[in-house]
Amino acid sequence: MTLAQWAALVVLNIAGAASPGPDILLITRTAIRSRRHAVATVLGIQVGVLFWCTLTVLGFAALLNAFPAVLGFLQLIGGAWLVWMGYGMLSGGLSERKNPPADLEEAAARLGRLRHAFAHGLTTNLSNPKIVLFLSALIAPLLPASPSVGLAIGVVAMLSVSSVVLQLGMALLVSTPTMRRKLLRAGPMIDVVSGIFFIVAGLVLVFNGVEDLQAERRQAKHPVRRPGFVLGKFL
C-alpha cells in the first residue's frame, strides 16, 4: 500500500468512528461524570474494534454476505442488548432528574466500578456486527488481492490506533473538570436522549435481523447457488 492509501484509510476510519452512534453517545454520557470511567469505556470499545477489524481482514464479511442468517442472529442479539441498555439509561435519566447528583464525586460514584464501564463499552461495540461490512468496504479497495500477514496486521493496527486516538481524545476533552461542571446538570437529559437513541438503534437492528433470518428461510425454500466463502488469502 502507498502512503496515500494509508492516509485515506486513516481519514475514512476516523470519519466513521466520529460519526454519531452508540459508541460516541456512551463515551459522552460517561465522560461528563468521570474521566476514569470514560477511559475504561473507550478501552472496552477498542477491544471490540480490534475484534471486528481482525475479523474483517480474515474475510468475515464474505461469511455474513453468504449466510444472512448469521448476520441476522447477531443483529437480534446485539439489538436486544442495545434496547436493554437504552431502557437502563432512559429510566436512570428520568430518575436522576428527580434526584440529581450533588457534585462531580457523586456523579462518578453512581457509575459503579470501572470494570462495568469497560464491559459496557465492549458490549456496546460488539452489538453491531455490520461494522464488519463497513470496514470491509473501507479496506477492500486498498488491499491487494493477496495481502501478506504483515500488511494485514498493519491494517488492523492502523484502524485500531486511529480509532482509539480519536475516542480517547474525545473522552479526555469532555471529562475535564470545567466541562464536567458545565454539563453536570444536563447529565440526566443526556441519559434520556441516549436511552431513546439506544432503544431506537436496537429496534432497528432487531428489525434488520428478523429480515435477514426471513431472507435465509426464503432461500432455504428456494435454494440458489451460494458464492464460495474463503478466509483471507494470506492464511
State the pLDDT at residue 145: 60
- State the pTM of this model: 0.79
pLDDT band of residue 166 (cuts 50, 70, 90) is very high
d(CA 206, CA 213): 11
What 8-state DSSP symbol labels residue 31?
Answer: H
Total tally of structural domains belonging to the chain: 1
130: in domain = yes
Taking the CB of residue 28, how many other CB atoms lie within 10 A of it? 19
235: in domain = no
12: in domain = yes
Which among 194, 203, 206, 196 has a CA at the least distance from the CA of 24?
194
Containing structural domain, residue 104 = 3-221
pLDDT at 231 over 50: no
State the pLDDT at residue 228: 45
Helices (H), strands (E): how many in the chain?
11, 0
pLDDT at 182 over 50: yes
233: in domain = no
Biggest alpha carbon–alpha carbon distance for the chain: 63
Q: Say if residues 31 and 184 touch (Cβ distance below 8 Å).
A: no
134: in domain = yes
The x, y and z cell numbers of residue 134, run together, are 463497513
Residue-by-residue DSSP string for 201-235 = HHHHHHHHHHHHHHHHHHHHHS--PPPP----TT-
